[in-house]
Structure 1
Amino acid sequence: MATTTAMQLLGRRLSCCCLLVAVCLAAFAVVPSASQPSLTVATPSSKNKNTQLKCTNTKTNRTTCTVNCNNRCPHKCLIQCPSCKTFCLCDFYPGVSCGDPRFTGADGNNFYFHGKKDQDFCVVSDAHLHINAHFIGKRNPAMSRDFTWIQALGIRFAHHRLYVGAVKTAKWDAAADHLTIAFDDEDVALPRFVGSRWAPPTAPALSVTRTAQVNTVVVELRGVFRIMANVVPITAEDSRIHNYGVTDDDSLAHLDLGFKFYDLTDDVHGVLGQTYRPDYVNKLDVKSNMPVMGGAPDYLSSGLFSADCAVARFGRRQEAAAASIGGPAIAMVTDDME
Structure 2
Amino acid sequence: MARWPASTAAVLGLLCMMALAASAQQPGNMQVITMDGKRNSKFTCTDTKKNSHRPGCTATCPNRCPRKCLVLCPTCKTFCLCDFYPGVSCGDPRFTGADGNNFYFHGKKDQDFCIVSDAGLHINAHFIGKRNPSMSRDFTWIQALGIRFAHHHLYVGAAKTAHWDAAADHIVLAFDDDGEESISLPATVGARWSPPTAPELSVTRTAQANTVVVELRGVFRIMANVVPITAEDSRVHGYGVTDDDSLAHLDLGFKFYDLTDDVHGVLGQTYRTDYVNRLNVTAKMPVMGGADSFVSSGIFESDCAVARFGRSSGGGGGAAASKAAGGIAMVTDAKYL
Q: Same fold (TM over 0.5)?
A: yes
CA deviation string 1:33-68 (max 9, x = no partner): 4x567111011242699x5432355778x9821022
Instruction: Indicate the residue corresponding to 2:43 in structure 1.
Output: 53
Contact 2:10/2:100 (CA < 8 Å) preserved in 1?
Answer: no
Match of 2:33 among 31, 35, 42: 42
- Secondary structure, in 3 states, of the residue corresponding to 2:222? strand
Counterparts of 1:53-132 in structure 2, within 5 Å, are 53-56=43-46, 64-132=56-124
1:32 and 1:47 map into 2 onto residues whose CA distance is 29
Paired amino acid for 1:42: I
Decide whether the 8 Å contact of 2:13 with 2:84 is kept in 1. Answer: no
- Correspondence 1:13-52 to 2 at 5 A: 21-29=13-21, 33=25, 35=26, 38-46=29-37, 51-52=41-42
C-alpha change, 1:41 and 1:257, in structure 2 (3 Å) is: same
Mark the CA change 1:59 to 1:304 in structure 2 (over 3 Å): closer, same or farther: farther
**SS at 2:146's partner residue?**
strand
How far residue 305 of structure 1 moved from its aligned partner, in angstroms, is 0.2
CA distance in 2, matches of 1:231, 1:20: 23
Does the alignment pair 1:217 with 2:212? yes
Query: How far apart in 2 are the matches of 1:187 and 1:92?
Result: 33
Q: Which of 297, 304, 312 is matched with 2:307 structurally?
A: 312
Q: Is the alpha carbon distance of 1:54 and 1:136 closer, same or farther for their aligned partners in structure 2, counting shifts above 3 Å?
A: same
Structure 2 unaligned regions, length at least 5: 1-8, 316-337
| SS class of match (2:218) | coil
Residues 96-122 of structure 1 show CA distances to partners (whole Å, capped at 9, x for unaligned) of 000000000000000000000000000
Task: Report the residue type matching 1:248 in the other structure.
Answer: D
Question: Who is 1:294 aligned against?
Answer: 289
Q: CA deviation at 1:82?
A: 1.5
Return the alpha-carbon distance in structure 1 between the equivalents of residues 123 and 10 of structure 2: 29
| 2:148 counterpart letter in structure 1 | R
Q: Which residue of 1 aligns with 2:131?
A: 139
Q: How many residues align?
A: 302
Report if aligned partners of 1:53, 1:66 keep a CA contact under 8 Å in 2.
Answer: yes
Relative to the length of structure 2, the TM-score reads: 0.84
Change (3 A) 1:128 1:30: farther
* Residues in 2 aligned to 1:19 and 1:288: alpha-carbon distance in whole angstroms: 22
Distance 1:45 1:63 in 2: 27
Residues 289/107 of structure 1: CA separation in 2 closer, same or farther (3 Å cut): same
1:20, distance to aligned residue in structure 2 (A): 6.0
Q: Distance in 2 between matches of 1:299 and 1:68?
A: 39
Q: Which amino acid aligns with 1:171?
A: H
SS at match of 1:317: coil
Q: Aligned partner of 1:244: which letter? A: Y
**Stretch deviating more after TM superposition (139-148 or 309-318):** 309-318
Q: Report which of the two structures shows the higher radius of gyration computed on alpha carbons.
A: 1
1:77–1:87 contact (8 Å) kept in structure 2 = yes
TM-score for the superposition, normalised by structure 1: 0.84
CA drift of 1:30 comes to 7.0
Q: For the residues of structure 2 that align with 1:170 and 1:288, how far apart are their CA atoms?
A: 35
In 2, are the aligned partners of 1:38 and 1:59 still within 8 Å (CA)?
A: no
For residue 97 of structure 1, give the secondary structure of its aligned residue in structure 2.
strand
Q: Deviations over 1:63-112 (max 9, x none)?
A: 82102212211121110112211011001000000000000000000000
Once the two structures are overlaid, the 10-residue window that deviates more, 23-32 or 96-105, is: 23-32
1:199 alignment counterpart: 194
Identical pairs, percent: 74
List structure 1 runs of 4+ shifted beyond 3 angstroms.
17-22, 30-33, 56-60
Matched, 1:176 2:171: no
Q: What corresponds to 2:330 in structure 1?
A: none
| Residue deviations 1:111-152 (CA, integer Å, cap 9, x gap) | 000000000000000000000000000000000000000000
1:129-181 Cα shifts (integer Å, max 9, x gaps): 00000000000000000000000000000000000000000000001000010
C-alpha change, 1:59 and 1:117, in structure 2 (3 Å) is farther
* CA deviation map 1:172-224 (0-9, x unaligned): 00010000100002210111100000000000000000000000000000000
